[in-house]
Amino acid sequence: MTITAAYQGVEGAHSEVALTAWLKTAGVAHELVGVPTFRHVATAVAGGKADVGLLPIDNAIAGTVRDGYDLVAQYELVPLTELAWRMDHRLLGLPGASASALREVLAHPLVIEECGRFLGTLAGARVVPSIDTGVAAREVAAGADPSRAAIGPPEAAARHGLIELAANVADHPDNVTRFLAFRGRDARDEVRALGDRLGASRKTSLLLTTRHERGALARCLGVLAESGINLAKLESRPVLGRPWDHLFYIDLEGDVSDPRIAAALEQLQPHVTSVQLLGSYDVTSGSAPPPAAPRPAAAAAPVAAPALPASAKGWPKAARPARPEGTRVPVGGGVVIGGDELVVIAGPCSVESREQVLDTARAVRDRGARLLRGGAFKPRTNPYSFQGLGWDGVALLAEAGRATGMPVVSEVMSVDQVERMAREVDVLQIGARNMQNFDLLKAVGKVDRPVMLKRGLSASLDELLAAAEYILAEGNPHVILCERGIRTFETATRNTLDLSAIPVLRERTHLPVIVDPSHGVGIARWIRPLARAAKAVGAHAIMVEVHPNPPEAKSDAEQALTYDEFSRIMDDLSRIGTGVDA
């Protein structure tokens, strides 16, 4: 049996990509039909022209998609599953186009809401709503005008022959849309079965209007609370034609066949003027696979299992035997540290302005960097030195990351910054001066973000591993160690880059190890040979500081690389192998 499935748009639309993925997972033969509007999706299913339909109902950035909930209710469609779909928004243009020369960007109105910050950075480009993502991409391809671009997923680029001008352009990387797949009332058995095949968690959606009297909503919520039902969503919307009356969208965890939910629906009756049950449905999630790494892998040899020092008892979770195969840390945007590919992290020491960080981001991205660095909270030796732009700097760094499709890393200096920082950047950096700030280590151990832990100025490797253990012990498995030079009697260089740390750490721990030659030597012209050495000795990643105009840098000017110097380093790195596979 083949199922006909309706979505809004044309090929390459997010709905089409999500619907295809769901039907594939469900293992049913299907035929897709793209229709012009959300309402057409609902009427196609209600009228029997399609077996199932898919509509967005909620987005993590833009909020409720009113049309989605309302159409399902209005046409009495039956929800089958909620699909939480990670939206991969990219800026797509014609070959040869450049983001800075755009005059027009076409996007679905919901996508415009999700990408407001990025669109605001495209000075001179008019944002034009388009009925659909696929249509936007198709129009840009047909128009042959390189000053026009569209926002859409990589599938839209592939389908319409466009190239990617920027990735990750949504206001936040955690950009998930909840789609609802539904069927008509009189569906065939095979279609009905799509709604209860997973048996995973279930949700129930209601549309409810309360009496216009004091405490009505509170009493409704009280009924749910007393029944022990968890609320997944509550949102009030105006009722058309009845100003100041309110309609509430309510999602509950659980199935309507659960006696607690059935009883709660009864008990709500005296407090409401209407309650409409949208239905109960499965909760599933999915997203497109991350894009393939653009550069060939440099293979790292497996590490043998020599005896660990006695001190390893103090860091069992960090010790190599805990994960003999090595830990691979996904840092966002499909980039992994600890895999076969050497990752280059680059960017300014400090974020100084929008132009400075955006220009640097573009320059390093175009030369092969995969991760953007930039300090906003700066641990400076002297209180009168530039202290960083704080949260404004974090926002500018995140914006530059989105504009260039790179995940971002920035230093977090105190416990009270951790939660917010974890929301705004992809990787949390613990600076050398904080390597043994144990409260901070515990705090970053509790969040769901990779941590780059820098070796303290005079910390032994044993102490570095014990510090990593603090983070692992709190439950965060994604720790990356960074050798950034230590204090020795030598004064010719800012620090002494301890390259012996890399083979030692690779033997003793499964955590990825990266090298920061910028802070290691502190003098721009000596960074290049040390970057080569870092790759040769087996680093998983290299982090360097780059500035559009090094003499003007507000921090660490002596070690800032020019774009040309950075190019030469990238060129060197592409021509040498790693020490471990030699």
CA gap 294, 342 in Å, rounded: 12
Task: Return the range that interacts with ligand PEP (CB under 6 A); candidates 88-96, 125-133, 267-275, 427-435.
Answer: 427-435
Taking CB under 6 A as the criterion, the residue among 375, 512, 517, 538 binding ligand PEP is 375
Interacting residues of 370 by C-beta distance below 8 A, sequence separation 6+: 333, 335, 343, 344, 345, 406, 407
Under the binding rule (CB under 6 A), the answer on residue 40 touching ligand PEP is: no
Under the binding rule (CB under 6 A), the answer on residue 388 touching ligand PEP is: no
Under the binding rule (CB under 6 A), the answer on residue 497 touching ligand PEP is: no
DSSP β-bridge partners for residue 343: 541
534 in Cβ contact with 499 (< 8 Å): yes
- Where does this chain bind Mn ion (CB under 5 A)? 349, 556
> Toward ligand PEP, which CB reaches closer, 45 or 542?
542
Comparing every residue's Cβ against ligand PEP, the nearest one is: 431
| Both structure tokens of 35 | 């229709």
Provide the minimum distance between the beta carbon of 541 and ligand PEP in the complex, in angstroms, as a whole number: 13
Q: Under rule CB under 6 A, which residues in 439-458 are in contact with ligand PEP?
A: 454
3-class secondary-structure state, position 227: coil
Give all strands of the β-sheet with 148-152 in edge-to-edge order.
126-129, 104-107, 148-152, 90-93, 163-166
Phi/psi at 308 (nearest 5 deg)?
A: -90, 155
> Toward Mn ion, which CB reaches closer, 244 or 384?
384
* Residue (of 545, 575, 540, 574) closest to 562 by Cα position: 545
| Both structure tokens of 129 | 């709503």
Under the binding rule (CB under 6 A), the answer on residue 47 touching ligand PEP is: no
Catalytic residue among 177, 210, 360, 509: 177
Under the binding rule (CB under 6 A), the answer on residue 517 touching ligand PEP is: no
Under the binding rule (CB under 6 A), the answer on residue 530 touching ligand PEP is: no
Under the binding rule (CB under 6 A), the answer on residue 431 touching ligand PEP is: yes
Interacting residues of 542 by C-beta distance below 8 A, sequence separation 6+: 342, 343, 344, 345, 514, 515, 516, 517, 531, 534, 535, 573
CA gap 210, 205 in Å, rounded: 16
CA gap 189, 193 in Å, rounded: 6
In the residue annotation, 121 being an active-site residue is answered as: no
Q: Cα(first)–Cα(last) distance of the chain, in Å? A: 56
Provide the minimum distance between the beta carbon of 482 and ligand PEP in the complex, in angstroms, as a whole number: 7
Task: Return the range that interacts with ligand PEP (CB under 6 A); candidates 292-300, 328-336, 387-395, 428-436.
Answer: 428-436
- Report the partner that residue 79 touches, choosing among Mn ion, ligand PEP, none (CB closer than 5 to 8 A by kind): none
In the residue annotation, 179 being an active-site residue is answered as: yes
> Toward Mn ion, which CB reaches closer, 251 or 545?
545
What DSSP string runs through 493-508?
Answer: SSSB--TTHHHHHHHH
Under the binding rule (CB under 6 A), the answer on residue 349 touching ligand PEP is: yes
> Toward ligand PEP, which CB reaches closer, 63 or 379?
379
Provide the minimum distance between the beta carbon of 412 and ligand PEP in the complex, in angstroms, as a whole number: 11
Say how far residue 575 (Cα) sits from the centre of its chain.
31
Under the binding rule (CB under 6 A), the answer on residue 432 touching ligand PEP is: yes
Under the binding rule (CB under 6 A), the answer on residue 484 touching ligand PEP is: yes
Provide the minimum distance between the beta carbon of 432 and Mn ion in the complex, in angstroms, as a whole number: 10
Rounded to 5°, the CA angle 511-516-522 comes to 155
> Toward ligand PEP, which CB reaches closer, 268 or 349?
349
Per-residue interface string for the shown chain with ligand PEP, residues 114-153, x marking contact by CB under 6 A: ----------------------------------------
Q: b/e map of 256-287 (b: 16 or more CB within 10 Å)?
A: bebeebeebbeebeebbeebbebbbbbbbeee
* Residue (of 61, 59, 58) closest to 69 by Cα position: 58
Active site residues: 177, 179
Site residues for ligand PEP per CB under 6 A: 349, 375, 379, 411, 431-433, 454, 484, 519
